[in-house]
Chains A and B, each alone.
Chain A
Amino acid sequence: MSQFWLAFGFGLVTASVLAIAAVGLSLQFGITNYINFAYGDFMALGAYLSYYFNAEIFHINIWIAMVFGSVIMGVLAVLINQFLLSPFARRFNKSFYVLIVTFGLSLILLNLLYSIWGANNRTYSMKLEIYKHIGPFLLNKYQIIVMIISVAVMVGVHLMLKTTRLGKSMRAMSDNTTLAMTSGIDTKRITTITWFLSGLLAGLAGTVLGITESQITPSSGELFLFVIFAAVIVGGVGSIYGAMAGALLIGLATEISAAYINPAYKLDIAFAILILTLLFRPNGLFARPGKA
């Protein structure tokens, strides 16, 4: 039984990382209505930007480096949308084109990271922290901070969506862009802000993934991407709260299964859950009409 609770604790850590990433992807998807296949590479790029500040130039504390890395990633996401994705989305009505462009962008970013930092694993410069028993769990300080960050992000996103004008506009746009536009919402501005938030959360998720796994590689984001997809689809595509629930479910399921089967297959468990969801509840657990 103790093994189960240990795995449960690791599951909560994975779920925390996954929730940040899934919410970032869902926010952008709700507004622009196409999937960003380069999202995993946004994560990796954010992780490397944090690494750059943390270990290569300023040698600053990892948490401050993380803030820098995430904000820069947010700005990059805005620029990428402005000069690449948004023109394609405006010009071609079918989502094919922009999907292929994000797929290509993923290839470009991945190889950019490889050419700059090489294929070797990198580690953040952080003090080594010992694992302590907290209740039935075995966690270290960094993992607890990551969980706190994740909860803070979730609460922040919730408050933003429910209480602020920006959040309400975003929900309106996600329901119906044309209607939102005719109601006087500046859809361009909302789209830009959404891309910033999506990039910011991608950078944040990439960095905390690097912290919890204590290494980063250019392809780490890409491998994580399908776990995010699983969380998003299981939760119900386009639903922010569904993404959070999906992240919790997938995070726990992958880590708990790793305690009982070969951990090499733990990510495949996410895929198995995805397939089961598709078979029995194709619109996800928190389905929104008209999205899938």
Chain B
Amino acid sequence: MAQFWFYVFTLVFFLFDYFILAMGLNIQYGETGILNFAYIGFVAIGAYVTGAVSLPNSVGTAQQYIFGFNMPFPFSLLAGGVASMLLAVVVAAITLRRLRTDYLAMVLISLSLVLYDVINNYVRLFNGADGLYNVPQPMAGVLHLTSNAFVVFFACVTGVISLIMWAGMSRITRSPLGRTFRAIRDDPDVASALGKGVFRYQLTSMLIGSFYAGIGGGLLIQFGGSFNPTAWLPGETFVVFAVIIVGGVGNNVGLLMGALLVETLLIHLPAFLPDIPGHPGLIEYIDAMVIGVMLMVMLWFRPQGIIPEKIRRFALPVGELLNRDGHSVEAPVEVASTVTSATSIGETHEGNQG
């Protein structure tokens, strides 16, 4: 029975952790329109830094890593988030101003591969291909938790953190800042014509998103106690994209739903299935293909996701407004802001514009 709850709470942990990761990518992609194909790289930096600062000094251990500050739990996590933000500043400063969507995506996916290559080869940074391990379990010593109890405890901690971060994200998306993000997503040129500094807002969005990525990554290494390059192959970015596209781009509740469906049910549940005899790893491969196919089907039939972005309605102040026929309307009117409605993203009837 203990075994059963161990599994359940492992799934609960991944649900909340991917909820955090999805919120981070959603503010970049879903709200601001930055196609960050290097997202998993930011997650990895968060995880490595969290691990490396919470481990003791590496001298005398079998591992090689930088830092080694013995930092206690919540601070190590914050260090991971901040490290991820620092990476975002560098990346954004070089790329965001210069490149439009698809070139940005090309450079970012390259960045993700190079980051992978460097961390894999430069052993002194984060122990190379072996990765960090034996990372202390936060507070397990103080609370005298067994490893089963730790899973339950840490899944709950992650749940609380994700709720706090959800509250923060809701505030951001409802604020004028969030509205500006969405305006940039829908049309950067229009936003810039209205006097919004597109680069500055995109940078802000990258920073917020990568903080979420860093925290999500930090929680991963604190939960599992280890992290190595196989955990963040560039394809993992796609899983996070799948979470937000299935759940609903631009909708925080949808993201939780997406995390439940994609991450928990499609990725971690099949991991408990026994291997097909003679074909090690086949289940994983098929699983990845199923996710790819599901995402395409979803994009085609329900591009707004399971729970679509709310069409935000703003009551205009009393005044003269013209309705469609050109007659004036007197009462304050609720006007659906079609620009920010998810159903209108990208779908036009103009055909290919070359």
Contacts and interface: CB of A to CB of B under 8 A. Distances in A.
Interface of A: 33-35, 37, 84, 87-97, 99-101, 103-108, 110-112, 114-115, 119, 176-178, 222-223, 225-226, 229-230, 232-233, 237, 262, 264-265, 267-268, 271, 274-275, 278-279, 282, 292
Contacts of B105: 35, 37, 99
B295 interface: yes
Contacts of B94: 275, 278-279
Given A100-B245, A226-B114, A233-B106, A105 B98 contact: no
Given A108-B289, A232-B106, A268-B114, 4 more contacts: A92-B346, A99-B102, A103-B238, A268-B118
B107 A265 contact: no
B319 interface: no
B148 interface: no
Interface string B282-294: 1011101101110
Contacts of A93: 346-348, 350, 352-353
Interface of B: 29, 33, 35, 37, 94-95, 98-103, 105-107, 109-111, 113-114, 117-118, 121, 234-235, 238, 241-242, 245, 279, 281-282, 284-286, 288-289, 291-293, 295-296, 299-300, 303, 345-348, 350-354
Contacts, number: 141
A89 B111 contact: no
Nearest to B354: A177
Contacts of A106: 235
A101 B121 CA distance: 31
Given A99-B105, A265-B121, A278-B99, A94 B346 contact: yes
A92 B303 contact: yes
27 contacts: A84-B296, A88-B300, A90-B351, A92-B346, A92-B347, A93-B347, A95-B102, A96-B101, A97-B346, A99-B35, A100-B35, A100-B295, A104-B295, A105-B292, A107-B238, A108-B288, A115-B286, A176-B354, A177-B352, A226-B109, A226-B110, A226-B113, A229-B106, A265-B117, A275-B94, A282-B98, A282-B99
A123 to B, nearest CB: 21
Contacts of B234: 222
Contact of B33 (A35, A96, A108, A237): A96
Contacts of A225: 109, 113
Nearest to B110: A226
Contact of B299 (A89, A100, A278): A100
Contacts of B346: 92-94, 96-97
Contacts of A100: 35, 241, 245, 295, 299
Nearest to A268: B114
Contacts of B295: 100, 104
Nearest to B234: A222
A267 B99 CA distance: 22
A97 B299 contact: yes
Contact of A230 (B110, B245, B293): B110
A103 B106 CA distance: 11
Contacts of B106: 35, 229, 232-233
Contacts of B286: 111, 115
Contacts of B293: 108
Nearest to B286: A115
Given A229-B110, A279-B94, A107 B288 contact: yes
Contacts of B109: 37, 225-226, 229
B281 A114 contact: yes
A265 B292 contact: no
A171 B102 CA distance: 21
A167 to B, nearest CB: 19
A178 B354 CA distance: 7
B353 A119 contact: no
Given A89-B352, A233-B103, A96 B35 contact: yes
B354 A104 contact: no
A214 to B, nearest CB: 21
Nearest to B111: A271
Q: Would you list the 6 A-B pairs with minimal beta carbon distance, nearest first?
A: A94-B346, A177-B354, A226-B110, A108-B292, A93-B348, A111-B285
B281 A119 contact: yes
